[in-house]
Amino acid sequence: MQIKKETEVAGGGVPTAVQLEAINAQAKGKLTAEQVYVFSLRLCDDQVDRDGERFDTAALPGLAKLFIGKTGIVDHRWSSDSQVARIFAAEVVQENGVSYIKAWAYIRRGGTADEVIADIEAGIKKEVSVGCAMGRSVCSICGSEYGTCGHQKGESYDGAVCCAILKEPMDAYEFSFVAVPAQREAGVLKALGSRRCLKELAEEFGTQAEYRALVQDAELGRQYQKLLCDEVVRLCLALSLGVEEPVLRSMMGKASAQELMQMKSALEGRMAEMYPVKCQLSGAVKGDVVESGFLI
């Protein structure tokens, strides 16, 4: 999945000798300290952000490496001359219990680049939008792949707020400078790459009533599946298959409604074969058992 986040530019200046060496490892030509402007960027960290997501702390070193050599563009203009900056170093920094990727980038002085440098110095182009691709997103509550378990980002479960943890860095993309505050007010960037939940979309597009109806239907579906699951477990126990109830419940809990319906129908067939004579009687008994099963 593709991830897009906003971050900040820290102060800049003339490169050190070590930095210049790293810059020249990336640059085609041999640059002098006077020709480049160096600044640092705080890229992804491991804290929960506005999207209810956070990067896995263990994924940061791998992600940092992927950012080295990536170029930065100004205001999303994708022409080659707008690629003014390039990341030449990145490492994970720990500060007050927070881990984050600190990157250093350089800009070659001269021409339009000087405007960008002046803007950075003046604090105007302070915000940076970074993009990367992560292989997995898992639920912080139960560890399942996010979106498969029913836990929702931002919702509280027994006092713990759910978030999606982004793991397995795959790629890092160009970054872009954002003139603050115009872009922030427009809210353009967040809509670009972030994945949003249905509830947010419903609020934005004024379809809350349909969303609530869907949620109710889904709840009914879950109740039906629970009843199906109970019935299949009851049939398995009645047929004395030799499997313990907790094992059956765990298995059936993972089955889909369609699978449970098939199981139920097959087990009912087996039941009818095994107890054909008692058909009338067992029908009556069956009713009682079902009744008590629901009471539990």
Q: Minimum distance between the CB of residue 98 and Zn ion, rounded to whole angstroms?
A: 24
Nearer to Zn ion, 4 or 151 (CB): 151
Nearer to Zn ion, 139 or 235 (CB): 139
Whether the CB-CB separation of 101 and 91 falls below 8 Å is answered with yes
Nearer to Zn ion, 141 or 248 (CB): 141
C-alpha–C-alpha distance, residues 52 and 196, integer Å: 10
User: Which tokens sit at 85?
Assistant: 């900056």
> Cα–Cα–Cα angle for 141, 146, 147, nearest 5°?
115
Residues that bind Zn ion (CB under 5 A): 139, 141-142, 144, 149, 151
Q: Minimum distance between the CB of residue 226 and Zn ion, rounded to whole angstroms?
A: 18
Q: Minimum distance between the CB of residue 193 and Zn ion, rounded to whole angstroms?
A: 23
Within 10 Å of residue 23's Cβ, how many Cβ atoms? 23
Whether the CB-CB separation of 273 and 282 falls below 8 Å is answered with no
Nearer to Zn ion, 70 or 151 (CB): 151
Q: Minimum distance between the CB of residue 149 and Zn ion, rounded to whole angstroms?
A: 3
C-alpha–C-alpha distance, residues 112 and 77, integer Å: 13
Q: Minimum distance between the CB of residue 202 and Zn ion, rounded to whole angstroms?
A: 21
**Which residue in 130, 141, 150, 103 sits closest to 194, CA to CA?**
130
Rounded to 10°, the helix 208-238/245-254 angle is 140
User: Which tokens sit at 165?
Assistant: 């943890």
Nearer to Zn ion, 142 or 241 (CB): 142
Q: SS3 letters for 87-128?
A: EEEEEEEEECCEEEEEEEEEEECCCCHHHHHHHHHCCCCCEE
Nearer to Zn ion, 152 or 183 (CB): 152
Nearer to Zn ion, 138 or 232 (CB): 138
User: Which tokens sit at 120?
Assistant: 């950075």
Q: Minimum distance between the CB of residue 158 and Zn ion, rounded to whole angstroms?
A: 12
Q: Minimum distance between the CB of residue 145 and Zn ion, rounded to whole angstroms?
A: 9
Q: Minimum distance between the CB of residue 260 and Zn ion, rounded to whole angstroms?
A: 21
Nearer to Zn ion, 84 or 141 (CB): 141
Within 10 Å of residue 237's Cβ, how many Cβ atoms? 14
DSSP codes of every residue in 75-88: TT--SGGGEEEEEE
